[in-house]
Structure 1
Amino acid sequence: MKLTRKQVLAKAKASDLESVKKLNCWGCNLTDISIFSQMANIEVLTLSVNSISSLSPLAGCLFLCELYLRRNKIPSLSELSHLRPLTRLRVLWLAENPCCGTDTSQYRLTVLRCLPRLQKLDNQVVTEDEIALALMEGEEVTTPLGSVQNQPSTNGLPDTETENDPLNYNMEETNKIREELGMKLLSRDKFLSLSSPSTRENKSSMKKTHILDAVLLLLKDLDEEELHIVHTATQNRLQCYTLEPETLIESLQTQKSADIQH
């Protein structure tokens, strides 16, 4: 069953989709939730006990804080990649979906690695220790195959152009770094336009260029203390190329001791 505009407005008692902040669609036998691609301002969304299999329509709901998806038909944790842009998401209930599997511990670590900002998962509070462990032992969540083609193109560009657009790639790399640093994601209009690569052969070299651009863009947002952290990390990284193994180990041990003292 497809959730329609009329149904949404009736349930929310609203006159337009943009004004809907909370919506409860528990047990409505839904399979198609594409309507949410038009509801960027939704904050609390209850979709438990339905037949939903794809989360791609939620990728643009940037104000979403709470999302309830218990007992649906989400096949893989790769669907969580669509929730990565939702930096305000703090509560997620995903239990009793096929993607949860039988290893509940590993499932939880994988979800938290993908969405480290969560404060509550499946009605259980998330601890700092869990997040730290998840970043080390959780499995990496990849984007579902074909999801790029199935999503609407940006700025009116065809899907193939958007996928190969280096501006879009630059933004993806930048926001991935910013997400890992717990920083606010940048919008597309923050970036300068770049020409698309003409051949597949130069795509690898352009990727490195875009990553460097992303890092340089990040530096503009850092304060003195944060820049000092980056400086120290850069020095340690450079030592891997310039020092002998024995000297490197000694240097790292000295740095660790200094950190403990402070």
Structure 2
Amino acid sequence: MKLTRKAVLSRAKASELGGVRKLNCWGSHLTDISICRELPNIEVITFSVNNISDLEPVSQCQHLTELYLRKNRIASLTELFHLKKLPRLRILWLSENPCCGSDLHRYRMTVLRNLPSLQKLDNQLVTEEELSHALLEGEEITAPPAKLDMDNCCQNATTESSATDFTVESENEFMNFSLEETNKIRQQLGMKPVPRDKFSSFTPRKVDGNRKNQNNILNAILLLLEELDSEGLEVICQTAGSKLQALQKELHEER
């Protein structure tokens, strides 16, 4: 899905692209963010939980200070080449992307070697000691990622694999929803964290198995629902209505 000019202006509540300072597109199924090239004054971008793989458009956002990209499809750390052009970037959330790999220490060292001005990476403060180690243990990225012909040779295999992994990750995330995870999402959305006593008020009585997982999802939805504007609530209503119709149809066919 392509992020359009209309969507940017609507979400940012701005009249022109040059006036956009903050943009929140969390969980919007985005793949194309080329519109970022037209956001010269953007300071905070939330693109977590999407399908983004190319960060080149972001390289034009010279005023960007915070960038949230958790749970996307960024395959290679060479995409950091585009972020090296952002002199004001101080906060980056890149975890749970394919580029992180299994060696998280190497991943963190490589990010910090190429972006030494970061103050926080993946919601963890960057220390002077880490920056020193990064010079020795991190890999320096000096060239942009090679562009493959994704429309031909390997699009189907990559897309199918990524989609499967993304679905599994999303299910696992919701199945283990906690106060910490809820507050991570709220932080990316620019919301205040939920106090523990308020979170507890949403916790239902103990149940087992699938019912417990459903309650975990419901907890998160209820906590975020009150923060949505009319546009967000409309999206929720439409999505819930479609889902309910599909379930009712399925039940009817089984009978």
TM-score interval for Structure 1 and Structure 2 normalised by the shorter chain: 0.5 to 0.7
User: Following TM superposition, by how much is the alpha carbon of 1:40 offset from its aligned partner in structure 2, in angstroms?
Assistant: 1.0
Residue of structure 2 in register with 1:80 after alignment: 80
Q: Which aligned pairs between 1:1-262 and structure 2 lie closer than 5 A?
A: 1-146=1-146
The alignment's C-alpha RMSD in Å is: 1.3
Distance 1:68 1:31 in 2: 15
Using a 3 Å threshold, how does the CA distance of structure 1 residues 146 and 89 change in structure 2: closer, same or farther? Answer: same
Runs of 5+ unmatched residues, structure 2: 149-255
Q: Is the 8 A contact 1:81 1:143 kept in 2?
A: yes
Counterparts of 1:133 and 1:127, CA distance in 2: 10
Structure 1 runs of 4+ aligned residues shifted over 6 Å read none
Query: For the pair shown, which has the larger CA radius of gyration, 1 or 2?
Result: 1
Distance 1:145 1:120, change over 3 A: closer
CA contact (8 A) 1:112 1:134 kept: yes
How many residue pairs align between the two structures?
A: 148
Where do 5+ consecutive residues of structure 1 fail to align? 151-262
The residue aligned with 2:198 is none
Query: 3-state DSSP class of the match of 1:136?
Result: helix
Cα 1:47/1:137, change in 2 over 3 Å: same
Alpha carbons 1:79, 1:143 under 8 Å: kept: no
**Contact 2:79-2:145 at 8 Å conserved across structures:** no
Following superposition, the deviation at residue 146 of structure 1 comes to: 4.6
Amino acid across the alignment from 1:40 = P
Aligned to 2:118, what secondary structure does the other structure show?
coil
CA-to-aligned-CA distance 1:172-200 (integer Å, 9 cap, x gap): xxxxxxxxxxxxxxxxxxxxxxxxxxxxx
Amino acid at match of 1:134: A
Work out the CA distance in 1 between the residues paired with 2:118 and 2:144. 21
Identity across aligned pairs (percent)?
Answer: 64
TM normalised by structure 2 equals 0.57
Output the CA distance in 2 between the equivalents of 1:65 and 1:141.
Answer: 21
Aligned to 1:219: none
Q: Which digits, 9 at most, give the CA deviation of each residue in 1:80-109, with x for residues without a partner?
A: 100111010000000000000000000000
The answer to whether the 8 A contact 1:55-1:82 is kept is yes
